[in-house]
Amino acid sequence: MKYISTRGQAPALSFADVLLAGLAEDGGLYVPEQLPTFSQDEIASWSGLPYSELAFRIVQPFVAGSIQDADLKRMVDETYAVFDHSGVAPLVQLRPNEWILELFHGPTLAFKDFALQLLGRLMDHVLAERGERLVIMGATSGDTGSAAIEGCRHSKHLDIFIMHPYNRVSEVQRRQMTTILADNVFNIALEGNFDDCQGMVKDSFADQAFLNGMKLGAVNSINWARIMAQIVYYFSAALAVGGPHRPVSFSVPTGNFGDIFAGYLAKQMGLPVEQLVVATNRNDILHRVISGNDMSKGTLEHTLSPSMDIMVSSNFERLLFDVYGRDGAAIADLMQRFRSEPVQLESSRWEKVRALFDSYAVDDQTTCDVIRDVHAETGYLLDPHTAIGLKAARECWRNTHTPMITLATAHPVKFPEPVVKAGLNAPELPERLSDLMEREERFTVLPNNLSDVQAYVASHVHRD
Ligand SMILES: *Cc1c(COP(=O)(O)O)cnc(C)c1O
């Protein structure tokens, strides 16, 4: 399988190269040259497979030519064995045809474990084969960082530097990152917001001279391998509620458009999906684009669902590449203009986006109301991101004969504030994290300044 850039100017690469490169040289994102597709019969034959078997079947065509089947099988098995639930991604029913897909049974209690536990293993495997080392730089609004650190802490061939916005992630989230005291793990608390962190990562990729010949790798969802791993649970959930013979719909709490993009890919690969609902908080650029063709940045607001406090959704570019007929020059031009001004999509392109997605934006007050009401009705406790997904699902659901599956992207214990605001007791930490609040922390606070950050990274990498 070959991968091409959304901006059309970078060379096509193999899976292994894309895995290590992250962003393409031309500033674009890598996507498969051609998606694998599966027939309904083939998908139906996967019913009842253990999660890791299903993952192997779906991921295999994407890595063909780069990773041997036996190695992939082993890494996939190891990845999903560390999840706390035997079903890995279990479904919970709230109302008739209304389901919650629990994606928080991994080590850091958010859906990002699905991809990052695998990513760390894949990277270490390829680096070992090549006899190379890699420097990971990543930005996090909370969950990516902990999942990436957890996925990479045992890697022998890479150092990982994770930047989070200082004082703007929850204490549980911070401690999940800063209490990992491995030698190859570096936590940076940046005096800025998430977009500042992400901007620094992007600028560092664009000019890697500060690393004196070492190479940078990415764990943000610009890394194709993350999207790839997330496709799997759309299939597993659909199979569990009667797919592929019956279409299903999904509602996805969205920040960087990574998770929902994986759902779009599942559909392109042959899974019958009726609706894909994009659920946002007040940082609603995606809702504004989809509902009104208004792609303008606005100001970033801090909400009770901080993992979605993102104004520039990187992965939306991957979708635009498809709706613009894979015209890299058109995407390069559009993204260039979007850096400095609001843009509108050509109307025929926007119509395609609208046909593919529904969208809805939810404010903090409504988020708390949903948490409270669902708890009163069913006893089930939602995290704020999932509450936004569920609210959007209910608002956008056109045909209630089609199962609607809302992705539960985090365990509510990670975000106690809205739970308490909803008048409920904050949930307790699960067993595996019960001593989190007593563990030793290690992190470095740095000013919101690119050269300070780069100097810190350059002076801490292990060169051999
Ligand atoms: C990362 C995250 C999201 C947003 O996912 P994207 O792939 O960036 O759209 C939503 N909810 C939680 C809890 C997250 O950690």
Instruction: Note the pLDDT tens digit of each residue in 214-272.
Output: 999 988 888 999 999 999 999 999 999 998 999 999 999 999 999 999 999 999 999 99
- Best residue among 385, 390, 406, 407 to mutate for probing ligand 1's pocket (most ligand atoms within 8 Å of CB) is 385
By C-alpha distance, which of 277, 281, 251, 229 is closest to 117? 229
308 lines ligand 1 (CB under 6 A): yes
Report CA(303)–ligand 1 centroid distance (Å): 14
261 lines ligand 1 (CB under 6 A): no
By C-alpha distance, which of 296, 308, 295, 298 is closest to 367? 308
Atom of ligand 1 nearest to the CA of 259: 7
User: How far apart, in whole angstroms, are the C-alpha atoms of residue 111 and residue 105?
Assistant: 8
pTM, rounded to two decimals: 0.95
Atom of ligand 1 nearest to the CA of 221: 7
Contact 162, 417 (CB under 8 A): no
Report CA(253)–ligand 1 centroid distance (Å): 7
- Best residue among 146, 254, 285, 318 to mutate for probing ligand 1's pocket (most ligand atoms within 8 Å of CB) is 254
110 lines ligand 1 (CB under 6 A): yes
- What are 346-365's pLDDT values in tens digits? 999 999 999 999 999 999 99
Report CA(139)–ligand 1 centroid distance (Å): 13
Mean pLDDT of all residues belonging to the chain = 95
- What are 291-326's pLDDT values in tens digits? 999 999 988 898 999 889 888 888 999 999 999 999
143 lines ligand 1 (CB under 6 A): yes
Amino acid at 369: D
409 lines ligand 1 (CB under 6 A): yes
Q: How far is CA 21 from CA 15, 30, 67, 216, in A?
A: 10, 9, 16, 7
Amino acid at 144: T
List the structure tokens of 217. Answer: 């790798």
List the structure tokens of 297. Answer: 């940045």
220 lines ligand 1 (CB under 6 A): no
List the structure tokens of 25. Answer: 């040289």
Q: What is the pLDDT of residue 284?
A: 95
* Residue ID of nearest Cα to ligand 1 atom 8: 256
112 lines ligand 1 (CB under 6 A): yes
Report CA(144)–ligand 1 centroid distance (Å): 8
Report CA(254)–ligand 1 centroid distance (Å): 6
Report CA(302)–ligand 1 centroid distance (Å): 15
Q: What is the pLDDT of residue 210?
A: 95
Report CA(141)–ligand 1 centroid distance (Å): 9
- Residues of the chain falling short of pLDDT 70: none
Active site residues: 112
Q: What is the pLDDT of residue 221?
A: 82
309 lines ligand 1 (CB under 6 A): no
Q: What is the pLDDT of residue 107?
A: 93
Q: What is the pLDDT of residue 156?
A: 93
Q: What is the pLDDT of residue 173?
A: 87
169 lines ligand 1 (CB under 6 A): no
Residues 192-216 as b/e (b if ≥16 CB within 10 A, e otherwise) read bbbbbbbbbbbebbeeeeebeebeb
Atom of ligand 1 nearest to the CA of 257: 9
- Best residue among 307, 362, 419 to mutate for probing ligand 1's pocket (most ligand atoms within 8 Å of CB) is 307
Q: What is the pLDDT of residue 21?
A: 87
Atom of ligand 1 nearest to the CA of 254: 9
388 lines ligand 1 (CB under 6 A): no
Contact 410, 150 (CB under 8 A): no
User: How far apart, in whole angstroms, are the C-alpha atoms of residue 59 and residue 229?
Assistant: 7
Atom of ligand 1 nearest to the CA of 409: 13
385 lines ligand 1 (CB under 6 A): yes
Report CA(103)–ligand 1 centroid distance (Å): 11
List the structure tokens of 80. Answer: 């999903």
* Residue ID of nearest Cα to ligand 1 atom 14: 307
H/E/C letters for each residue in the chain? CEEEECCCCCCCEEHHHHHHHCCCCCCCCEEECCCCCCCHHHHHHCCCCCHHHHHHHHHHHHHCCCCCHHHHHHHHHHHHHCCCCCCCCCEEEEECCEEEEECCCCCCCECHHHHHHHHHHHHHHHHHHHCCCEEEEEECCCHHHHHHHHHHCCCCCEEEEEEEECCCCCHHHHHHHHCCCCCCEEEEEECCCHHHHHHHHHHHHHCCHHHCCCCEECCCCCCHHHHHHHHHHHHHHHHHCCCCCCCEEEEEECCCCHHHHHHHHHHHCCCCEEEEEEEECCCCHHHHHHHHCCECCCCCCCCCCHHHCCCCCCCHHHHHHHHCCCCHHHHHHHHHHHHHCCECCCHHHHHHHHHHCEEEECCHHHHHHHHHHHHHHHCCCCCHHHHHHHHHHHHHCCCCCCCEEEEECECHHHCHHHHHHCCCCCCCCCHHHCCHHHCCCCCEEECCCHHHHHHHHHHHCCCC
**Domain residues of the chain, as ranges?**
86-109+224-421
Q: What is the pLDDT of residue 243?
A: 85
Q: What is the pLDDT of residue 194?
A: 84
Q: Which CATH class is domain 86-109+224-421?
A: alpha beta
384 lines ligand 1 (CB under 6 A): no
* Residue ID of nearest Cα to ligand 1 atom 15: 143
Bridge partners (DSSP) listed for residue 136: 160, 217
Q: What is the pLDDT of residue 143?
A: 83
Report CA(388)–ligand 1 centroid distance (Å): 12
